[in-house]
Structure 1
Amino acid sequence: MKALPRTLRLALLGLRDLLVSAGPLVLLPIAILAAAYWYLQPQPPTSLRLATGPAGSAYATFGQRYAEALRSHGITVELVPTDGSLDNLALLRQGGADAAFVRGGSADPVADEEAGLQSLGALFYEPLWIFYRPDALRPAQRRAGPLQSLAALQPLRVNVDKAGSGVPDILERMLRANRLDPAAMQISHLAQSPATEALAGGLLDVVVLASAPESPLVQRLLRAPGIALMDLRQSDAYTRLFPFLSSVRLPRGIVDLARDQPSEDVAMLAATTSLLVREQTHPALRQLLAQAAQGIHGGAGWFNRVRDFPNTRTSELPVSSEGDRAINGQPPFWQRYLPFWASNLVERMWLVLGGLLVLLLPLSRVVPPLYTFRVRRRVFRWYARLREIEARTNDADASPERLLEELDHLDRVVDKVAVPLSYADELYALRHNIHAARKRVLARRLDPGD
């Protein structure tokens, strides 16, 4: 094989010296970053289980919007249908879901906090809708006007949603506050969809459900002929008895301005629904969910103004740092310029990266002297051989011819030593010293009596 040109060989040799000198400095941060990546697991899983609610509910509708929002970041959201808030909470506690919509009043603030459940913020009001058929009222009730009190429900056929929704528990507490015994009433627990059909068909007199106004079933009942919405004039009193409830008003004309529907403000009660996550849910997924919540719930609604939601004021459980920053703070500047995976990597490992920078700055000063030592060592290693030959020059038993042969051999070896041009003076100095030693040996051979 043809030998490489000397210039190329010198360049490759210099590059090898530089790599060997700086190698430990390069391998150290790589090893630290690999260990930190393995320990911190900065990149999130590619899937997320979100517990929603029954088909046709606001929970199910919002779940679809979250799935679309996270899909753009490469995260697949598996929507888990449930009976409602209590089922969602149970799934979170058991690890069957990573995130879930949970209505206020459902969670146990002490036990669930200890279990590692956290909130990403309150998302929206979930009103308690009490729809009834006016033609099912007794003549005396009709003469009294629209229903305004839960006490009027006693003789009616009432459906209060399924047990997993949490609505039966809320209504039972409200009925007992009115000195009514739920066991003595005609209460059923059909799911929302069949209950809506039963109310429209006259098989039920009252349907009670809790859902955001975006729910298709709520929208249908608000516009259905022959069905009215209870105006709960005692709503403020209930908020004093049950702190997880808020008094809200359905504004006049909000359902249909052209038809002036409803024709007057309607007093209602509402709980605040939060997005809860498990402590084990990856921080990056919590961050994505909190950011998605800003876009999905940040606008004005029937019961709130712009930017009323999401908020951290009405959360029953501690708000995670990701939720608090998304709602009350500003995202890091790098999120504006980097894709999600890159910004997340910086977000999770910035402390490691900063520590490496602090460590490498002083260590980098070692590379130049180490490089110099390696190059000069290639030359200086032959000085030991030269000194040995010179020491034998004054030895009477040493043969000048033998010394000259050793010097010639040393000269040939040094002639093959390659060093960068910036260190060529070291090589020429060695060859000059070899030449000087040769002259002394020749002088001794010419004058053996010296």
Structure 2
Amino acid sequence: MQKNKMQLARLLLFLSLVLIVLYATFKAVPARQIRIAAGPEGGSFYAIALQYKKILEKKYYQVEIIPFQNTDEISAQVADDAAHVDIGFVANDLHGKNTGSLISLGEIQLQPIFIFVNRKEEAAGRIQSFADLRGLRLVLPPEKSVTSQTLLSIFALYGIDRNNTPLSFLSIGSGIPQLVQEKFDAGLFILGAESELMAELAKNQHLALAEMKQQAAIVRRFPFLQEVTLPNGIFDLEGKIPARDVKLLAASISVIAKKDLPPATTYALLEAMWEVHRSSSYVNGENEFPKYSSTAIHTSEFVNEFYRKGTPWIFSTFPVAAASILDAYLAPLLGIWFFLSIYRVFIQLEKIRSLTLSFLAHLLLCWLRWGIRKGRPLSPLARFLVEKVESAIEREEQGLPEVLAELKHLKQL
């Protein structure tokens, strides 16, 4: 009966250990689904997300791209646990927004603010600064988009609002055709410099790409903006489009993610970002992006480590599941191994101490027996040594009973 109870206890202990290992493994291995909040289809955010998707799917991730017309809401969607969005794109100042649950994966590119005006307005020489846009019929992307929110902030500096300027907020697919049809005097867009849509507008004979003054002053007001130069002929070398170098304002685009994004998933995303953005573009040099982002959003330590040293060897060497388990439990396992090693050292030292005591006890007995055979009484030194060895043997849990009995007997002589 007792034996059956012991077997049952061992079985329950074994099953408990198996369940603990399975639970720990389940918790450590990340989900293989990634949801990306992007801009509308046809926009640059969506195009970048498609490039990420292609790379990540080669690493066996399932990627879902969620288009948003109102790109200004992307950060809130990523921060909202109920939305189940893992990463997204931002291009404006996030101060004052809820970013406590977000991290930045870095800046990925500069997207110029393209301002295309009707040739008639441009020929009159009236469009030299944002102030000159007041009163014109302007078309912008949807009002809650990053582009429009950025431009409205700039407009506010020049006193431009709906009261003095007709502002229309349309999707790119609707706004650009109407701009080409001259239903608007100017259109303002923030898109990648390589955008085919912007190249087509630049080549349109009825439109001109405007260069605004006071750009340096605007950059001082909005740190997420930079000045860039679109080179002469970049859209068409033979046709010299644009006909000169054009200085433009550009928004710095960053990728944000949930703070609790698993390390393996984070490194996979960072590697995809590096593969997509390390090449030069029309407005930035090779290997300029992606880069560490010192924005209002926090950056995690392993993101910083990636930009300093690249992907850690665990994640670059092992499959995702194995790497995640090692990353989660390597430190505690090493700690356990260290303490077990110390314990083994103590056990070995204890064995050495016991063997040494046994050797000294037998050596003392041999010396005492030799003295007795010679008829010599126990000297004070011999009695002192007997007492010390006797005391040491008595402290042993598994002592030397025969040796101890003989020592006590000899001490009585």
Fold conserved between structures, TM > 0.5: yes
**CA distance, structure 2, for counterparts of residue 305 and residue 29 of structure 1:** 57
Q: Output the amino acid matched with 2:92.
A: G
Aligned counterpart for 1:103 among listed residues 83, 91, 111: 91
Question: What amino acid is aligned across from residue 69 of structure 1 in structure 2?
Answer: I
Runs of 4+ in structure 1 deviating by more than 4 angstroms, as ranges, are 26-33, 362-368
Deviations 1:365-392 (A, max 9, x none): 8999xxxxxxxxxxxxxxxxxxxxxxxx
Match of 1:277 among 234, 257, 265: 257
Following TM superposition, by how much is the alpha carbon of 1:270 offset from its aligned partner in structure 2, in angstroms?
A: 1.2
Note closer, same or farther for the CA distance 1:337–1:174 as it changes in structure 2 (3 Å cut): closer
Does 2:24 correspond to 1:37?
yes
Partner of 1:62: 48
- 1:220 is paired with a residue of what secondary structure? helix
- Do the aligned partners of residues 88 and 111 (structure 1) sit closer, same or farther apart at CA in structure 2, a change above 3 Å counting? closer
- Match status 1:142 vs 2:128: no
1:170 is paired with a residue of what secondary structure? helix
Is the CA contact 2:105–2:293 (under 8 Å) kept in the aligned structure 1?
A: no
Q: Is the 8 A contact 1:36 1:352 kept in 2?
A: no
Q: Residues 344 and 188 from structure 1, CA distance in 2 versus in 1: closer, same or farther, beyond 3 angstroms?
A: same
- Kindly provide the CA deviation profile for residues 79-111 of structure 1, in whole angstroms up to 9, marking residues without a partner as x: 000014312122123232111011122x23x54
What is the CA–CA distance in structure 2 between the aligned matches of 1:79 and 1:330, rounded to whole Å? 26
SS of equivalent residue, structure 2 residue 28? coil
Q: Count residues with an aligned counterpart.
A: 337
Partner secondary structure for residue 99 of structure 2: helix
Shift of 1:29: 12
Q: How does 1:79-228 map to 2 (within 5 A)?
A: 79-95=65-81, 96=83, 97-105=85-93, 107-108=94-95, 111-114=97-100, 116-135=101-120, 137=121, 142-144=123-125, 147-228=127-208
Residue 310 (1) aligns with residue 297 (2)? no
Pair 1:349–1:256, CA change in 2 (3 A): farther
Q: Determine the structure 1 residue equivalent to 2:64.
A: 78
Aligned Cα RMSD in Å? 3.0
Q: Deviations over 1:157-214 (max 9, x none)?
A: 1012102212232222222222333432111001111101111122222111112124
| In 1, Cα distance between equivalents of 2:99 and 2:135 | 41
The 1-side partners of 2:137 and 2:249 are apart by: 21
Report the Cα distance in structure 2 between the residues aligned to 1:201 and 1:275, rounded to whole angstroms: 35
Q: CA deviation at 1:288?
A: 1.3
State the alpha-carbon separation in 2 of the partners of residues 286 and 112 from structure 1. Answer: 21
CA pair 182-246 structure 1, distance change in 2 beyond 3 A:
farther
Report the Cα distance in structure 1 between the residues aligned to 2:310 and 2:222, rounded to whole angstroms: 34
- Judged with a 3 Å threshold, the aligned counterparts in structure 2 of structure 1 residues 252 and 27 are, in CA distance, closer, same or farther, namely farther
Larger Rg: 1
- The residue type equivalent to 1:34 in the other structure is V
Distance 2:180 2:295 in 1: 36
Alpha carbons 2:92, 2:150 under 8 Å: kept: no
TM-score, normalised to structure 1, is 0.68
Conservation of the 8 A alpha-carbon contact between 1:63 and 1:79: yes
TM-score between both structures, scaled by the size of structure 2? 0.74
Structure 2 residue runs of 5 or longer lacking an equivalent are 1-6, 349-413
Q: What corresponds to 1:267 in structure 2?
A: 247
The 3 A distance-change label for structure 1 pair 50 and 248 is same
Kindly provide the amino acid, as one letter, of the partner of residue 40 in structure 2: P
